[in-house]
Amino acid sequence: MDFTKMHGLGNDFVVVYGEQELPSNASELAVKLCDRFFGIGADGLVYILPSAKADFTMRIMNSDGSEAEQCGNAIRCVAKYVYDHGLIDRTEMTIETLGAGVQKLRLTVEEGRVASVRVDMGEPILDGLRVPTTVDQHPVVNHPIEVDGREFRFTAVSMGNPHCVIYVDDAVSFDLGTWGPKLEVHPLFPRKTNVEFATVNSRNQIDMRVWERGAGPTLACGTGACATLVASVLNGSADRSATISLKGGDLFIEWDEHDNHVYMTGPAEVVYTGAVVL
């Protein structure tokens, strides 16, 4: 199987093009290929497939074999792949996702290659039961959650996948490995959740570290960056556009007050291409 190793701010993927549908053993393949010691190594396995609704379909299998509804970093990688490989010659395209429907993308091209991608991530889902959480509120803002005797307060946002945004004094040095996995599987989140720990440094700049559902700690999370901005606006601590600084780099996020859509702008990179015997 031919593949391309790609990343968006260090959130890395094994990207595969050429299949007509998601393989029946995609979950098993993701666990095998994403293993960083015995496989290629990645946060997820991404398939670029045909679509009846959009230019392409993206399907994402996490490194634990579960399927992700959406991934902001992966969709930028897909956009770069299809443009750089001549599968599309337009700088505007649409990609169908499992959880967020059809999304519109605009490419910035330099010397014939995609340098950055602006993605219309759609409207955030703020109703607690639809995120989903077990909290029947709209929105769920600054809500208490207790784990192992420690109380946090979270804001719930779905960007096609669930997010739990928690504010801490120093996101950069926060003990992600201790609290991330426990909050991911907390009973308040019936489908588990991505967990973002954030520190608002100004109304236009936020530090964030993420524990991704099904993948663990990653260097970046595009939907998590979007959820963090939305949560910060809801909490009154940020403007509607801000730079979200992740471990792997920065994403620029906008929440448009006119159409209620969230827009994400960031890079995507190719690491190498290869082939693997399955």
Q: Which residues define the annotated binding site?
A: 11, 62, 72-73, 161, 194, 212-213, 222-223
Which residue among the candidates 34, 77, 164, 221 is catalytic per the annotation? Answer: 221
* Residue 233, H or E segment: helix 222-234
- For 117, other C-beta atoms within 10 Å of its C-beta total 27
Phi (first) and psi of residue 208, to 5 degrees = -145, 140
How many other β-carbons are positioned within 10 Å of the β-carbon of residue 231?
30
Active-site residue identified among 71, 77, 164, 226: 71
Active site residue 71: yes
Q: For residue 96, which of 88, 85, 105 has the smallest C-alpha distance?
A: 105
Question: Binding site for substrate, residues?
Answer: 11, 62, 72-73, 161, 194, 212-213, 222-223
Considering only CA atoms, give the Rg of the chain.
Answer: 18
∠ CA(262), CA(265), CA(267), 5° rounding?
A: 150
Q: Which residues are catalytic?
A: 71, 221
